[in-house]
């Protein structure tokens, strides 16, 4: 964190945390040159889902403090969340022009590039390499404890041991690790805990709340714990601690799950994936890490409680097919929208239900209607909704969806699993990067490779084909939840044992290399 950002947070608190929106608006009106008040107002507007107003205020903050890197980062975050990816990338680059060593700006840029259709995997890889080079020479790895066999000490570093999508996929491993062979440590790097955090703590032998620790202190803690294999679960996401991995506190270091690309760090030895999401010979050259591929799927999904049963096919009641996409708004690229419009054009009377936080904004929703109108799709065929704060409301809206359309080039993960859990088959497009092949991994894991498209034409064909046979679609829906239950995607014990074997192979390779 930069000195200026630290001072802002000390003086004005977290952006929007507990802020009174009317009071902040009044404060800015009284003192329009007050950088701190503007800073908090942007956060409060974002938290209240007034996205366009948040962007206006973030732009004003940049004009107030053009030399403050954090102001540009702030604007970039708002732009990215609204789907203005090109503008967000420009904002992050302006922040880096002001402060080339700004860690948040660099990681924000790298994350945003994963959503881009205008940058090739090679270009994105080069940007990640630049991050790694800025971290300096790779330190020598600590010597491994040669005693073997014994319990391996596995350390997981994450800000997402809370109500977060990462938990849907880490919970099975944390709950089912073989305690006779593995000693598990969790280093939690987010400053707040919630009910999920409290649920996770007893699942592991060692838990450390580390948000307050400096990188140096966290590095020292991990070394003192004598971790054998240290696993990053965040990559370049918020509250990550890659600077700790750059210091090489463990003999073996890996990255997994939370970030859909390389860390760029030479100090991270492995990236855990599978042959679908990281095809051999196709993806390896874009990682600084060696790819360790699990045999079936790199993901294991645990859904929440059975809040809703799968209902019969919505089209059988509505008399028309409803396609749906509930993915994060920033994942919805121009090519995705163009392809979704083509799907609606070839399926008469069909409609598209889009659900995302920014669609609560009238301006954003109007812009979406205008986008589809330009392709000949009328507003009556669009259903636009903002986010649902309660999970039961969110999942309940899948009762209106016959077929889910996956976003690209950045696929859904949790949303894909949720759609299938609620009975909606998913159409995905296999892309040119890890983020664009998660759908292929998930659908192959549940035995539905025929719903993985190779290009946009194929995507339209598959979606239209599903919509054309309502009886087949109804049968598919009725069996979807059991299909998931019987698939590798929900085989928690099998997945965890495979992950553990992967760790043992990593460790044995380390022992051989140090002999």
Distance set, CA 453 to CA 13, 154, 296, 407, 474 (Å)? 47, 37, 20, 12, 21
Residues 6+ apart with CB under 8 A from 323: 340, 343, 344, 347, 350, 351, 352, 353, 401, 402, 403, 404, 405, 463, 467
* DSSP sequence for 110-125: HHHHTT-SSS-HHHHH
What is the model's pLDDT at position 19?
Answer: 56
Mean pLDDT of 434-440: 98
Report which of 101, 123, 100 is spatially closest to residue 112, judged by C-alpha positions.
123
What is the model's pLDDT at position 389?
Answer: 84
Mean pLDDT of 481-510: 98
Say yes or no: 464 and 319 in one domain. Answer: yes
Q: Which domain holds residue 88?
A: 3-113
d(CA 40, CA 468): 51
Residues 6+ apart with CB under 8 A from 166: 158, 160, 233, 257, 258
pLDDT exceeds cutoff 70 at 289: yes
**3-state SS class at 224:** helix
Indicate whether 127 belongs to any domain: no
Say yes or no: 59 and 173 in one domain. Answer: no
Say yes or no: 188 and 333 in one domain. Answer: no
What CATH number is associated with residue 276? 3.40.50.11380
Mean pLDDT of 378-383: 98
Indicate whether 461 belongs to any domain: yes
**Please, what's the b/e burial string for 334-363 (b: 16 or more CB within 10 A of its CB; e: otherwise)?**
eebbebbbbbbeebeebbbbbbbbbbbbee
Q: What percent of the chain has pLDDT over 90?
A: 91
Q: pLDDT tens-digit profile of 117-158?
A: 999 999 999 999 999 999 999 999 999 999 999 999 999 999
pLDDT exceeds cutoff 80 at 394: yes
Q: Decide: residue 223, CB within 10 A, 0-12 exposed, 13-18 middle, 19+ buried.
A: middle
**3-state SS class at 515:** coil
What is the model's pLDDT at position 69?
Answer: 96
Indicate whether 136 belongs to any domain: no
d(CA 113, CA 115): 5
Say yes or no: 322 and 454 in one domain. Answer: yes
Q: How confident is the model at residue 20 (pLDDT cuts 50, 70, 90)?
A: confident
Q: pLDDT tens-digit profile of 209-229?
A: 999 999 999 999 999 999 999
Say yes or no: 48 and 76 in one domain. Answer: yes
d(CA 191, CA 238): 12
Compute how many other C-beta atoms are within 10 angstroms of the C-beta atom of residue 61.
Answer: 23
Tokens 């996409």 map to which residue? 325
pLDDT exceeds cutoff 80 at 12: no
Q: pLDDT tens-digit profile of 408-426?
A: 999 999 999 999 999 999 9
Indicate whether 171 belongs to any domain: yes
Say yes or no: 231 and 168 in one domain. Answer: yes
Mean pLDDT of 106-112: 97
- Find how far residue 185's CA is from the centre of its chain: 23
Indicate whether 141 belongs to any domain: no
User: What CA dihedral angle connects 115, 117, 123 and 126, to 10 degrees?
Assistant: 0
Say yes or no: 77 and 203 in one domain. Answer: no
Q: Radius of gyration (Cα) for the chain, nearest Å?
A: 23
Indicate whether 130 belongs to any domain: no
What CATH number is associated with residue 410? 3.40.50.2000
d(CA 329, CA 52): 14
* Phi and psi based region of residue 16 (left: phi greater than 0; alpha: psi -120 to 50; beta: remaining): left
Mean pLDDT of 340-352: 98
Q: β-strands 426-429, 452-453: how paired?
A: parallel
What is the model's pLDDT at position 74?
Answer: 93
What is the model's pLDDT at position 306?
Answer: 67
The full length of the chain comes to 515
What is the model's pLDDT at position 48?
Answer: 86
Say yes or no: 407 and 261 in one domain. Answer: no
The number of domains in the chain is 3
Indicate whether 139 belongs to any domain: no
Q: pLDDT tens-digit profile of 240-279?
A: 999 999 999 999 999 999 999 999 999 999 999 999 999 9
User: What CA dihedral angle connects 252, 121, 359 and 397, to 10 degrees?
Assistant: -60
Q: β-strands 206-209, 182-188: how paired?
A: parallel
What CATH number is associated with residue 20? 1.25.40.10
Mean pLDDT of 344-371: 96
Say yes or no: 22 and 60 in one domain. Answer: yes
Indicate whether 305 belongs to any domain: no
Say yes or no: 335 and 479 in one domain. Answer: yes
Q: What is the pTM for the complete model shown?
A: 0.94
What is the model's pLDDT at position 47?
Answer: 83
Q: pLDDT tens-digit profile of 186-209?
A: 999 999 999 999 999 999 999 999
d(CA 364, CA 345): 23
Say yes or no: 399 and 320 in one domain. Answer: yes
Residue 431 φ then ψ, to 5°: -105, -165
Say yes or no: 463 and 503 in one domain. Answer: no
């Amino acid at each position: 964190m930069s000195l200026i950002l630290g001072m802002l947070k000390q003086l004005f608190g977290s952006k929007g945390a507990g802020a009174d929106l009317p009071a902040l608006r009044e404060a800015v009106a009284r003192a329009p040159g007050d950088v701190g008040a503007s800073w908090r107002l942007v956060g409060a507007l974002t938290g209240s889902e007034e996205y366009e107003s948040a962007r206006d205020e973030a732009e004003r903050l940049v004009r107030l403090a053009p030399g403050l890197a954090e102001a540009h980062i702030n604007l970039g975050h708002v732009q990215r969340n609204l789907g203005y990816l090109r503008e967000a990338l420009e904002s992050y680059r302006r922040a880096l022009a002001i402060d080339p060593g700004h860690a948040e700006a660099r990681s924000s840029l790298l994350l945003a590039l994963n959503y881009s259709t205008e940058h090739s995997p090679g270009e994105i890889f080069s940007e990640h390499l630049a991050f790694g080079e800025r971290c300096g020479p790779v330190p020598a790895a600590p010597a491994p404890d040669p005693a073997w066999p014994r319990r391996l000490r596995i350390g997981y570093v994450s800000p997402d041991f809370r109500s977060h999508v990462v938990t849907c996929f880490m919970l099975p491993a944390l709950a089912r690790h073989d305690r006779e062979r593995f000693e598990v440590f969790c280093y939690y790097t987010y400053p707040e805990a919630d009910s999920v955090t409290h649920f996770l703590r007893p699942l592991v032998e060692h838990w450390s709340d580390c948000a307050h620790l400096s990188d140096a202190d966290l590095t020292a803690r991990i070394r003192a714990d004598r971790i054998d294999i240290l696993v990053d679960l965040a990559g370049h996401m918020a509250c990550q601690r890659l600077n700790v991995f750059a210091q090489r506190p463990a003999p073996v270091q890996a990255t997994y799950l939370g970030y859909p690309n390389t860390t760029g760090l030479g100090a991270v030895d492995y990236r855990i994936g599978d042959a679908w999401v990281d095809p051999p010979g196709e993806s390896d050259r874009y990682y600084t890490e060696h790819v360790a591929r699990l045999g079936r799927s790199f993901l294991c999904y645990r859904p929440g409680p059975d809040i809703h049963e799968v209902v019969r096919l919505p089209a059988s009641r509505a008399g028309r097919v409803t396609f749906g996409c509930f993915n994060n708004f920033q994942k919805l690229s121009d090519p995705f929208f163009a392809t979704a419009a083509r799907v609606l054009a070839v399926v008469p009377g069909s409609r598209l239900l889009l659900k995302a936080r920014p669609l609560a904004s009238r301006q954003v929703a109007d812009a979406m209607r205008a986008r589809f109108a330009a392709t000949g799709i009328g507003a009556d065929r669009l259903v636009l909704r903002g986010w649902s704060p309660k999970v039961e409301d969110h999942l309940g809206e899948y009762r209106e969806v016959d077929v889910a359309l996956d976003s690209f080039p950045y696929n859904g993960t949790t949303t894909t699993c949720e759609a299938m859990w609620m009975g909606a088959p998913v159409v995905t497009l296999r892309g040119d990067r890890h983020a664009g092949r998660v759908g292929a991994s998930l659908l192959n894991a549940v035995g539905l490779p025929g719903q993985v498209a190779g290009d946009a034409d194929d995507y339209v064909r598959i979606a239209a084909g599903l919509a054309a046979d309502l009886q087949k679609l109804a049968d598919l829906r009725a069996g979807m939840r059991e299909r998931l239950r019987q698939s590798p995607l929900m085989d928690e014990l099998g997945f965890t044992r495979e992950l553990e074997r992967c760790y043992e192979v990593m460790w044995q390779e380390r022992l051989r290399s140090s002999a």
